[in-house]
Amino acid sequence: MTEHATVLTDTHHETFRRDGVVKVEGAVDPDWIGRMLELADVQLTNPGRWVGDSAKEGGPGRLFTDRYLWRTVPAVRDFVFGSGVARLAGELLEAQRVRFYFDHLLVKEPHTPNPTPWHQDIPYWPFLGRQIASVWVSATDLTVEESSLEFIRGSHRWNKYFTPKAFTASGSKWAEANAGDELPDIEAARGDFDVIGFDVKAGDALVFSAWTVHGSPGNAGDRRRVALSTRWLGDDATWDPRPAADPSVTQADTSAVPGHYPDDDDRFPVVWQRGA
């Protein structure tokens, strides 16, 4: 399967710099959609090591996540290296090259009340730097009411590092040890913030900075929400394995040196280079 040749315009670049997020319509070849949906079916019944599943808590609906599959699941590895999402990240980050960090499968079944709380990504991850971003690709047509993503426009320029929270009642508490500023109660005062949401079609991508505050409501619709997000490291990223960061890659797993660019081609492979 070949890379989908999505052309980024000046408007895409200007929007990403200003807002910290941009929608890229038709970002991946349609053939990837079926593979993403099949991946969701497989992982829902045979989850990997780094799974989160609200079904275990006995509530209505199901919020399911699985991550760091690329080293063991060929479909995910193919997507990372062959879908073209690395190029989207690299070009929008204005980087010379991007390294891959991890993949994240996200599923919300219909009538799942669980929201994804407002948060930044950067406090959860063992990296620092401004050139760090996600490419969130939807495998289903979604509205915001069906749990597509919302963002606080321009929040990547607040120069704030917010204390992360666990996403589920029984979820890991490792995030809560990474102290930072207290995130405002956005739901209690939505009118005080520049909230933007994106309805998407299958194959659309939302590319956003790891510093941009974002979240999503529960899935109030009748359709399953399936998305595959990939996380990317640009030129200024540094390895920062602080206590309680995401444990999927630790210092024991990598040759990266704290405080330095993570030039570990095994754990953080270069997937896109400018001009290559």
Could you tell me the residue ranges of all domains in the chain? Answer: 13-254
**Looking at per-residue confidence, does 167 or 17 come out higher?**
17
Question: What superfamily does domain 13-254 belong to in CATH?
Answer: q2cbj1_9rhob like domain (2.60.120.620)
pLDDT score recorded for residue 52 = 87
Given a cut of 80, is residue 175 above it in pLDDT? no
Assign 178 a pLDDT band (cuts: 50, 70, 90): low
* CB burial readout 112-136, b (16+ within 10 A) else e: bebbbbbbbbbbbbbbbbbbbbbbb
**pLDDT tens per residue, range 190-248:** 999 999 999 999 999 999 999 999 999 999 989 999 999 999 999 999 999 988 788 89
| pTM of the full structure | 0.94
Looking at residue 1, what is its pLDDT? 55
HEC-encoded secondary structure of the chain? CCCCCCCCCHHHHHHHHHHCEEEECCCCCCHHHHHHHHHHHHHHHCCCCEEEEHHHHCCCCCEEEEECCCCCCHHHHHHHHHCCHHHHHHHHHCCCEEEEEEEEEEEECCCECCCEEEECCHHHCCEECCCEEEEEEECCCECHHHCCCEEECCHHHCCCCECCCCCCCCCCCHHHHCCCECCCCCHHHHHHCCEEECCECCCCEEEEECCCCEEECCECCCCCEEEEEEEEECCCCEECCCCCCCCCCCHHHCCCCCCCCCCCCCCCCEEEECCC
Q: Which amino acid is at 208?
A: F
Residues 6+ apart with CB under 8 A from 101: 125, 127, 132, 231, 232, 233, 249, 268
